[in-house]
Amino acid sequence: MKVAIIGAGYTGMAIAKKISENNIPVTIFEKSLKVGGMTNNIQIGNIITDKYYRHLFKSDKELINLAKELNIEIKWFKSKMGYYIQDKLYNWGQPLTLLKFKPLSFMQKIKFGISVLKIKTIKNWKSLEQYTIKEWYQKNKIEDIYKIIWEPLLKNKFGKYSLTISMAWLWGKINLRQSEKGLIKETLGYIDNFEIMNNALKKYLEKNKVEIKTNTEIKNIKKENNKYKINNEDTQYDIVISTISYNETKQLFKQYLNTEEKKKMDKVKYIGVKNLVIESKKAISDYYWLNMADETIPFCGIIDYHNMENIKTKDIIYISNYIEETNELYHLKKEELLEKIYPYLKKINLNFEKEDIINYEMIEEKYTQPIIETNYSNDILDNKLQEKGLYICTLPQIYPEDRGVNYAIRSGYNLANKIIEDNNAELRFSMK
Ligand SMILES: Cc1cc2nc3c(=O)[nH]c(=O)nc-3n(C[C@H](O)[C@H](O)[C@H](O)COP(=O)(O)OP(=O)(O)OC[C@H]3O[C@@H](n4cnc5c(N)ncnc54)[C@H](O)[C@@H]3O)c2cc1C
């Protein structure tokens, strides 16, 4: 058996790791020059930093174990989260911070606390997926809490989709990404420059005889005599696994998808990112993570590495925004985007001057966040497609958790184990 994988992000590399450990030949095709996908880094002035902010949680078991295996150090730090609402900054995220949070009245604080506890005690998330977030708060007669806390955040992150997001998504955010919570701060992990881990994994895979073809975009796949040929080359593969978006996979697999598979792929919408990464002389606030609960602000979060302990790239700030291609912001040049964003940075911190920005770059990518709507589990595609030998393992199949490197690794391992099992069963059958 010979396996081809489309994409050398963590999903593709995790699949290749497990499959190669079982002595099955694997080739990964990666269109960019480096492995790592969304975990790649960029250069801002003289600083090399992750292209997207990147932290991990104590519950990220697969990622923590992989880092251990590859001898990569994870550093842990106490993170402070803030909430910018009604033109003011508040501490956020821990029980004690709620007490000082003025946008909620005393009674609303109690109702908010109870609603979080209620969500945390719900074990069966499936019972929630029929409701949008708004509907769940209405059903529980606490729509005022939805309006103050969640509505501005959801509008800012999901735009026109904000009213369609399933309560199961929020349940996942509150329940699954656990970190060590203190009364005021929580513990998050980070790896100084993720690319070191990407390269360590690449080296491990190559030692296991995985062929990694970087700078090689897959443009077409053809089936001949029950085997697949890629980009019209002679090599034949029994299995092809896509780890790229539904939209891109549809193009490559189009003649092999059945109506049901196409329908499920068509149903899922994505939003993209358009972020600024800034090298700055000073922090914008003293929060590592600042939520922007105001839909008129042209970004939804500020992730400020000045407030991380001991990170080598401590002068970096990420101005994060999720948007669709149809949004006018998506088409701005980096200078224009900075012009739009800067007045709000100044509003948050009166002492933040334009001269504090030493260098900056813009990062954009289309298919970074699938939209999780109600009853989403009915629409999830099986990894194994109906056409023999074709598989898909990608972001929208991660549910009810939100996407993350840990889940990319976990879903990659799960699919690889399934393929190995099927292959062993086939071998046993053919030997009978
Ligand atoms: C702004 C942002 C912040 C994030 N922060 C965090 C965080 O703090 N912690 C965390 O755990 N997760 C975070 N994530 C999520 C995490 O980065 C992703 O879930 C994970 O990296 C996805 O891995 P993947 O392999 O599934 O996809 P990708 O990393 O997208 O890999 C797919 C690969 O396929 C390649 N490819 C595409 N088309 C082709 C083709 N035709 N032929 C060959 N190759 C192709 C691409 O170049 C890419 O390398 C963040 C994501 C974003 C967008």
Residue 207: what pLDDT? 98
Segment 411-428, tens digit of pLDDT: 999 999 999 998 888 777
Scanning 232-363, the segments in alpha helix (DSSP H) are 246-253, 259-267, 334-348
Probe ligand 1: pick from 49, 254, 403, max atoms within 8 Å of CB?
A: 403
Residue 184: what pLDDT? 59
Q: What's the rounded Cα separation, in Å, for the pair 236 and 89?
A: 58
As a whole number, mean pLDDT of residues 289-300 equals: 94
* ω into 400 cis (within 30 of 0): yes
Q: What's the rounded Cα separation, in Å, for the pair 243 and 30?
A: 11
What is the rounded average pLDDT for all residues in the chain?
Answer: 94
Q: Please count the residues of the chain.
A: 432
As a whole number, mean pLDDT of residues 291-305 equals: 95
Which residue bears the tokens 């400020």?
Answer: 304
The phi-psi region of residue 205 (left if phi > 0; otherwise alpha if psi is between -120 and 50; otherwise beta) is: alpha
Distance from the Cα of residue 399 to its chain's centroid? 12
Segment 164-186, tens digit of pLDDT: 999 999 999 888 766 666 555 78
Residue 181: what pLDDT? 66
Q: What's the rounded Cα separation, in Å, for the pair 303 and 308?
A: 10
Give the chain's domains with CATH numbers. 3-53+193-267+381-431 (3.50.50.60), 78-181 (no CATH), 270-370 (3.90.660.10)
- Using CB atoms within 10 Å of the CB of residue 386, give its burial: 0 to 12 exposed, 13 to 18 middle, 19+ buried: exposed
Residue 180: what pLDDT? 65
Using alpha carbons only, give the angle 368, 405, 179 rounded to the nearest 5 degrees.
115
Q: Residue 411 CA: which ligand 1 atom is closest?
A: 26
State percent of the chain over pLDDT 90.
Answer: 88
**Does ligand 1 come within 6 angstroms of the Cβ of 83?**
no
How far from 29 is each of 15, 112, 181, 394, CA to CA, in Å?
Answer: 13, 48, 40, 15
Closest protein CA for atom 34 of ligand 1 = 7
Contacts of residue 141, Cβ cutoff 8 Å, sequence gap at least 6: none
Q: Per residue in 32-50, is it b (16+ CB within 10 Å) or e — as a string?
A: eebbbbbbbbeebeebebb
State percent of the chain over pLDDT 70.
Answer: 97
Distance between Cα 40 and ligand 1 center (Å): 9
Distance between Cα 38 and ligand 1 center (Å): 3
- The lowest-confidence range among 51-65, 172-186, 227-241 is 172-186
**Does ligand 1 come within 6 angstroms of the Cβ of 11?**
yes
Specify the pairing of strand 81-85 against strand 289-292: parallel
Segment 252-263, tens digit of pLDDT: 999 999 999 999
Distance from the Cα of residue 183 to its chain's centroid? 27
- Using CB atoms within 10 Å of the CB of residue 330, give its burial: 0 to 12 exposed, 13 to 18 middle, 19+ buried: middle
**Does ligand 1 come within 6 angstroms of the Cβ of 368?**
yes
Q: Is 89 helix (H, G, I), strand (E, B) or coil?
A: strand
Distance between Cα 9 and ligand 1 center (Å): 6
Name the DSSP class of 73.
Answer: P
Which residue bears the tokens 């949070």?
Answer: 101
Distance between Cα 131 and ligand 1 center (Å): 29
Q: Is 61 helix (H, G, I), strand (E, B) or coil?
A: helix
CB 356 within 8 A of CB 338: no
Which residue bears the tokens 């996908």?
Answer: 37
